[in-house]
């Protein structure tokens, strides 16, 4: 394939997580995936901006704070520290961490609100409906039980509320949104999610309220400070605020100058509507280009069951990473679960998978080959180049177009496919060694054959490590260092010290006569925890 190492920029976001509680495994899952994509973009030499952050306003936060006797800001600060800690533990190389309580964000929200206001898309209306005080939310009439009892609180009767709210004219954008989905079939992915949105929009869009009168913890409405801005309207704009350079004044123009439009909003399927319907409509109203792509991935289950607090089967991401390390967790979630679909976490399957792939197939392959290189070649790389191998050489034949296949997989967010393709090369290497039996050839004095075999395998391991580095950066770094490179895949500026993607992703890049490092297992096998389900 042609060289595509052009320096187009790439901006990607995770959701701005709601700080009503400490992060859960779902947030970690989205963030791992986003990080892998960002790392892959950087590998290709594209200026990349990975945006993470927190959504900190709203009534729920206000209450969560009250329940612990803290101010809302104190509460947010505490939870945000938990997120920052977790992302560090998961080896997330984010470039921006945006908090919606940042004062610069208020400036952006105000300016954006004003634009939509000037467009005539905001009006004062009445929010009417049956309101359950226990739920603190409006219910659809058909949801209610007999005599207007709330389905979640059958002993309570929903009250009729008639509340003053500002509304956004979403209905006005129905045809423009439908045109957008039509013209850009990739705007919402995967296709199953797109179908959901199309079906939803085709039912007819209604205006939605964007202010609240009883919520103090929020950004006051510029047009009427008795109201605060509805958290979603506020939170989505965090993606814009995040683009501001640290020193530049907080204006829309500055924020949108360099990185807009966002290339990919990576989200869970639960918040698809906000990103695929409300958000583009808001942007259309403000005269701002819409993002390139919105991807709604699936949900996780634990041992086949929904994860919920009431079931008590919560997976604590911090505990998980403390037990097993970030690479193993990242690998399992990205390789063993089909991105886009729901997927299951099962501890036994997790251990089997990472042991088989990372310890047995990949780690042991490097280890056995490196040991031989030390014994048979005095610890330096045999003097070969790609040209010394016939096109039908079993490893070269796979390696030669692996880079293109894997790049395509990453672009499609098909992490599982990327890993499978790479592991295919690794497994072939293990077979190749057994067939060739370099230890026997060495004893027979066939030095040249031995060196050629070892070069081909070491180069294949290098290529595998390079292509897996967005997912298992620590292991890839270890492999590279044992192969004699001084490269750290966790260094965001590594591009400067690394060859271009098209060269590094080609089989045969490994420089000959490079001095090899000491063989040391790059991934220790995990033990099954005793007596845990």
Partner RNA sequence: GGUUCUGUAGCUCAACGGCAGAGCGCUCGUCUCAUAAGCGAGUAGUUGUGGGUUCAACUCCCACCGGAACUACCA
- In angstroms, rounded to a whole number, what is the distance separating the alpha carbons of residues 255 and 247? 11
Binding residue for RNA (CB under 7 A) from 37, 122, 170, 321? Answer: 170
From 30-38, 403-411, 429-437, 461-469, span contacting RNA (CB under 7 A): 429-437
Stretch that binds RNA, among 38-46, 87-95, 103-111, 425-433 (CB under 7 A): 425-433
Q: How far is CA 237 from CA 45, 173, 225, 231, 330, in A?
A: 28, 19, 19, 10, 29
CA distances from 289 to 131, 285, 513 (A): 37, 10, 52
Alpha carbon distances (Å) from 137 to 10, 72, 128, 147, 157: 38, 21, 11, 18, 13
Report how far residue 192's alpha carbon sits from residue 106's, in angstroms, rounded to the nearest whole number. Answer: 35
Is 431 or 503 the residue whose CB approaches RNA more closely? Answer: 431
All residues at 6 or more sequence positions from 66 whose CB lies less than 8 Å from its CB, including other chains: none
Question: How far is 517 from 104, CA to CA, in rounded Å?
Answer: 49
Local structure of 403: helix, strand or coil: helix
Give residues 440-479 in contact with RNA (rule: CB under 7 A).
Answer: 440
When asked if residue 427 is in the footprint of RNA (CB under 7 A), the reply is yes
Site for RNA (CB under 7 A): which residue of 12, 34, 282, 372? 372
Our finding on whether 208 is near RNA (CB under 7 A) is yes
Is residue 353 a contact point for RNA (CB under 7 A)?
yes
C-alpha–C-alpha distance, residues 274 and 197, integer Å? 10
Rank residues 409 and 498 by Cβ distance to RNA and give the closer one: 409
Q: Does 498 participate in binding RNA (rule CB under 7 A)? A: no
Query: Least distance (Å) from RNA to the CB of residue 249?
Result: 28
Q: Is 339 in the site for RNA (CB under 7 A)?
A: no
Span 176-205, contacts to RNA by CB under 7 A: 192, 195-196, 199-200, 203-205
Q: Give yes or no for residue 117 binding RNA (CB under 7 A).
A: no
Nearer to RNA by Cβ, of 281 and 498: the residue is 281
Residues 6+ apart with CB under 8 A from 411: none
Q: Which of residues 74-113 bind RNA (CB under 7 A)?
A: none
Span from 312-320, 330-338, 461-469, 498-506 in contact with RNA (CB under 7 A):
330-338
The full DSSP string for 319-378 is HHHHHH-HHHHHHHHHHSS-TTS-EEE-HHHHHHHHIIIIIIIIIHHHHHHHHHHHHHHT
CA angle 422, 385, 39 (to 5 degrees): 35
Which residue of 10, 29, 34, 58 would you call a contact of RNA, by CB under 7 A? 58
41: its two tokens = 């973009």
Instruction: List, in sequence order, every residue forming a beta bridge with 352; answer none if it has no partner.
Output: none
Nearer to RNA, 352 or 393 (CB): 352
Of 1-9, 241-249, 358-366, 459-467: span binding RNA (CB under 7 A) = 358-366
Residue 231 vs 262, nearer CB to RNA: 231
Task: Give the bridge partners for 55, in sequence order.
Answer: 18
- Could you say which residues in the range 135-164 bind RNA, by CB under 7 A? 135, 137-138, 140
Which of the ranges 256-264, 283-291, 435-443, 508-516 carries the binding residues for RNA, by CB under 7 A?
435-443
Q: Which is nearer to RNA, 117 or 138 (CB)?
A: 138
- The residue from 367, 452, 482, 506 that contacts RNA (CB under 7 A) is 367
Q: Which stretch binds RNA (CB under 7 A): 40-48, 83-91, 401-409, 424-432?
A: 424-432
Size of the site for RNA (CB under 7 A): 76
Q: Which of 292, 361, 388, 488 binds RNA (CB under 7 A)?
A: 361
Q: Which residues in the 375-404 window bind RNA by CB under 7 A?
A: 375
Binding positions for RNA, 509-528, rule CB under 7 A: 521-525
Stretch that binds RNA, among 2-10, 32-40, 109-117, 345-353 (CB under 7 A): 345-353
Stretch 17-56 residues interacting with RNA (CB under 7 A): 17-18, 20, 55
Applying CB under 7 A, among 10, 87, 173, 232 the residue interacting with RNA is 232
What is d(CA 414, CA 275) in angstroms, rounded to the nearest whole number?
Answer: 21
- Among residues 403, 406, 447, 455, the alpha carbon closest in space to that of 429 is found at 455
Check residue 336 for interaction with RNA (CB under 7 A).
Answer: yes
E strand or H helix at 433, and its extent? helix 415-436
Q: Supply the DSSP string of 117-152, one letter for each residue.
A: HHTT-EEEEEEEEEEETTTTEEE-GGGS-GGGB-SS
Which secondary structure element, helix H or strand E, spans residue 114, and what is its range?
helix 103-118
Of 269-328, binders to RNA (CB under 7 A) are: 269-271, 273-274, 304
Query: In the complex with RNA, which residue's Cβ is closer, 115 or 525?
Result: 525
216 contacts RNA (rule: CB under 7 A):
no
């Amino acid at each position: 394939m042609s060289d595509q190492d052009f320096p187009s920029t790439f901006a990607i976001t995770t959701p701005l997580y709601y700080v009503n509680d400490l992060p859960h495994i779902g947030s970690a899952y989205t963030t791992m995936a986003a990080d892998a994509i960002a790392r892959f973009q950087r590998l290709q030499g594209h200026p990349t901006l990975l945006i993470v952050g927190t959504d900190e306003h709203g009534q729920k936060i206000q209450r969560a704070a009250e329940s612990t006797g803290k101010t809302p800001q104190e509460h947010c600060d505490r939870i945000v520290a938990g997120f920052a800690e977790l992302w560090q533990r998961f080896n997330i190389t984010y470039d921006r961490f945006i908090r919606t309580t940042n004062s610069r964000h208020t400036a952006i929200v105000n300016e954006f609100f004003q634009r939509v206001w000037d467009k005539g898309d905001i009006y004062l209306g009445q929010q009417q409906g049956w309101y359950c005080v226990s739920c603190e939310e409006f219910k659809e009439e058909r949801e209610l039980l007999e005599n207007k009892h709330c389905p979640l609180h059958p002993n309570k009767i929903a009250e009729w509320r008639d509340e003053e709210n500002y509304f956004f004219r979403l209905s006005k954008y129905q045809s423009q949104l439908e045109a957008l989905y039509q013209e850009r079939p990739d705007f919402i992915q995967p296709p199953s999610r797109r179908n959901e949105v199309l079906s939803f929009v085709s039912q007819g869009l209604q205006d939605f309220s964007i202010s609240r009168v009883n919520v103090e913890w929020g950004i006051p409405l510029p047009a009427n400070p008795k109201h605060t801005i509805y958290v979603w309207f506020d939170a989505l704009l965090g993606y814009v605020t995040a683009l501001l350079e640290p020193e530049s004044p907080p204006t829309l123009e500055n924020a949108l100058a360099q990185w807009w439009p966002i290339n990919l909003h990576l989200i869970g399927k639960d918040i698809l509507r906000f990103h695929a319907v409300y958000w583009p409509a808001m942007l259309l109203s403000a005269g701002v280009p819409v993002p390139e792509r919105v991807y709604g991935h699936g949900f996780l289950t634990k041992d086949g069951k929904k994860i919920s607090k009431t079931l008590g089967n919560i997976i604590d991401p911090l505990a998980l990473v403390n037990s097993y390390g970030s690479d193993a967790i990242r690998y399992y979630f990205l390789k063993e679960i089909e991105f886009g679909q729901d997927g299951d976490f099962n501890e036994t399957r997790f251990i089997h998978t990472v042991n088989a792939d990372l310890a047995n197939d990949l780690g042991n392959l490097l280890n056995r080959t490196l040991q031989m290189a030390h014994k048979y070649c005095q610890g330096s790389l045999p003097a070969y180049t790609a040209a010394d191998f016939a096109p039908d050489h079993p490893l070269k034949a796979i390696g030669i177009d692996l880079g293109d296949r894997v790049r395509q997989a990453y672009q499609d967010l098909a992490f599982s496919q990327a890993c499978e393709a790479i592991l295919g090369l690794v497994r072939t290497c293990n077979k190749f060694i057994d067939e060739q039996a370099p230890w026997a050839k060495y004893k027979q004095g066939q030095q040249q054959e031995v060196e050629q075999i070892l070069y081909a395998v070491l180069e294949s391991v290098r290529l595998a490590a390079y292509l897996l580095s967005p997912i298992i950066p620590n292991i890839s770094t270890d492999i590279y260092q044992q192969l004699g490179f001084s490269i750290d895949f966790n260094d965001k500026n590594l591009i400067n010290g690394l060859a271009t993607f098209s060269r590094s992703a080609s089989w045969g890049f490994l420089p000959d006569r490079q001095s090899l490092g000491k063989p040391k297992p790059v991934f220790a096998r995990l033990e099954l925890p005793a007596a845990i389900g």
